[in-house]
Amino acid sequence: MSDCVSAPRLGAEFFDRPVVEVARDLIGCTLVHGPTSGTIVETEAYHQSEAACHAYRGPTPRARTLFDSPGTTYVYLSYGVHSLFNVVAEREGTGAAVLLRALAPLDGVQTMRRRRGRNGLGELCSGPGKLTQALAIGLKHNGIGIATGPISILARPGALQGLRVAESRRIGISLATELPWRFTAAESPFLSK
C-alpha cells in the first residue's frame, strides 16, 4: 500500500464503540478542515459515568449534543474564549465524547500561522484551543456529522501503523482526575503544555 493515496475518511461506525477505545485509536489519524489538517497526537475520553464529563448531569442544553449519534461533533466555548472540539462516541442516548487536544501540523501551515498569529510549528496546534483556532473550528460546527460534514477525520495512514500510544491522566480538570483517559503519540513534540 502506498502512502501517496490518502487514507479513507472515518465513518460513524468508528465512533460507535467504548469512548476510551475511540480516544486511543484516534491517535495517528488526520483531522481535516478545508485547506488545513494535522495528525492527531493527543486525545482525552469523557463519559457520562464520571463527573468531569459535561454529560454527567444528563442532557442539559449544553450537553445535549453529547447524547447524539456517534460521529457527531461537540464544540463548546471554554473560559469564554476558546472553542474546544470533540467527537461524540458510543450509541445514541449515551453521553460520551473524545476531546482532541493536539495535532502535528500537516497541510495549510501558512494559513495556521496567520490564524494563530504565531510562527513556530510547535505553537500552532499544541492545545485544544489552539488547534480549533488554527483549523478555524468554532461553535457553528457543533452538532454536525464527522462522516459527511465539512470537518473530517482520516484513518491512520500505513506509515503510522506502528505508532506507540501512551496513556496518562487527563489535564486541566478537577474531578475524576484518577482516570488514565488521556492518550498521546509517544514522544511527539506537538503535545499540549
Partner DNA sequence: CATGGGATTGACT
Partner DNA sequence: GTCAATCCCATGC
Q: Residues 130 to 149: which contact DNA by CB under 7 A?
A: 130, 139
Question: Among 8-16, 34-42, 73-81, 147-155, which window interacts with DNA (CB under 7 A)?
Answer: 73-81
Locate the DSSP E strands across 18-127.
Answer: 30-33, 36-47, 73-78, 82-88, 96-105
Minimum Å gap between C-beta 74 and DNA is: 7
Which residue type occupies 166?
A
One residue of 15, 123, 146, 190 binding DNA per CB under 7 A = 123
Q: How many CB atoms lie within 10 A of CB 123?
A: 18
61 near DNA, rule: CB under 7 A: yes
CA atoms of 73 and 71, how far apart (whole Å) = 6
Q: Residues 75 to 104: which contact DNA by CB under 7 A?
A: 76-82, 84, 86, 97, 99
Name the residue among 180, 173, 177 with its Cα closest to residue 78: 173
Judged by CB under 7 A, how many residues of this single chain contact DNA? 39
Question: Among 5-13, 23-31, 171-179, 181-189, which window interacts with DNA (CB under 7 A)?
Answer: 171-179
One residue of 34, 122, 172, 189 binding DNA per CB under 7 A = 172
User: 110 CB contacts (<8 Å, ≥6 apart)?
Assistant: none
User: 160 CB contacts (<8 Å, ≥6 apart)?
Assistant: 28, 39
Q: How many CB atoms lie within 10 A of CB 111?
A: 16
Minimum Å gap between C-beta 127 and DNA is: 2
CA atoms of 133 and 110, how far apart (whole Å) = 13
One residue of 10, 22, 38, 44 binding DNA per CB under 7 A = 44
Minimum Å gap between C-beta 5 and DNA is: 32
Contact between 22 and 153 under an 8 Å Cβ cutoff? The reply is no
Q: Give residues in contact with DNA (CB under 7 A).
A: 44, 46, 52-55, 57, 60-63, 66, 74, 76-82, 84, 86, 97, 99, 116, 118, 123, 127-130, 139, 170-174, 192-193
